[in-house]
Amino acid sequence: MDGSPRAHLRRLARLATAAALAVAGLGLVAPPAHAEAGPKVAVLTRNLYLGGDLTPSIAAPTLPAFLAANSALLSHVDLVDFPARAALIADEIRERKPDLVGLQEVALWRTGPLGDPAPATEVRYDYLALLMAELAESGHPYDVVVAQDEADLEAPAGAPHLRDVRLTMRDVILVRHGGRIKVNATSSGNFVNNLVFPLAATGGSATSTRGWTAVDATLGGRTFRFVNTHLEAFHPGVRLLQAQELLRGPLSVPGRLVLVGDLNSGPELPDPNNRLAYLALVAGGMVDTWPVLHPGDPGYTSGLGDDLTQPADDVEHRIDMVLVRGPVTPVSSEVFGTERQTPGGRWASDHLGHQAVLALP
What confidence score (pLDDT) does residue 35 get? Answer: 59
Encode pLDDT of 270-326 as tens digits.
999 999 999 999 999 999 999 999 999 999 999 999 999 999 999 999 999 999 999
Asked if pLDDT for residue 23 goes beyond 90, the answer is no
Fold assignment, 41-359: Deoxyribonuclease I; Chain A (3.60.10)
What confidence score (pLDDT) does residue 139 get? Answer: 82
What confidence score (pLDDT) does residue 14 get? Answer: 46
Share of the chain above pLDDT 70, in %: 90
Question: For residues 299 and 11, which has the higher predicted lDDT (pLDDT)?
Answer: 299
Using a cut of 0.75, tell me whether the model's pTM lies above it: yes
3-state SS of the chain is CCCCHHHHHHHHHHHHHHHHHHHCCCCCCCCCHHHHCCCEEEEEEEECCCCCCCHHHHHCCCHHHHHHHHHHHHHHHHHHCHHHHHHHHHHHHHHHCCCEEEEECCCEEEEEECCCCCCCCEEEEEHHHHHHHHHHHCCCCEEEEEEEEEEEEEEEECCCCCEEEEEEEEEEEEEECCCCCEEEEEEEEECCCCEEEEECCCCEEEEECCEEEEEEEEECCEEEEEEEEECCCCCHHHHHHHHHHHHHCCCCCCCCEEEEEECCCCCCCCCHHHHHHHHHHHHCCCEEHHHHHCCCCCCCCECCCCCCCCCHHHCCECCEEEEEECCCEEEEEEEECCCCCCCCCCCCCCECEEEEEEECC
Encode pLDDT of 222-254 as tens digits.
999 999 999 999 999 999 999 999 999 999 999
Encode pLDDT of 35-75 as tens digits.
577 899 999 999 999 999 999 999 999 999 999 999 999 99
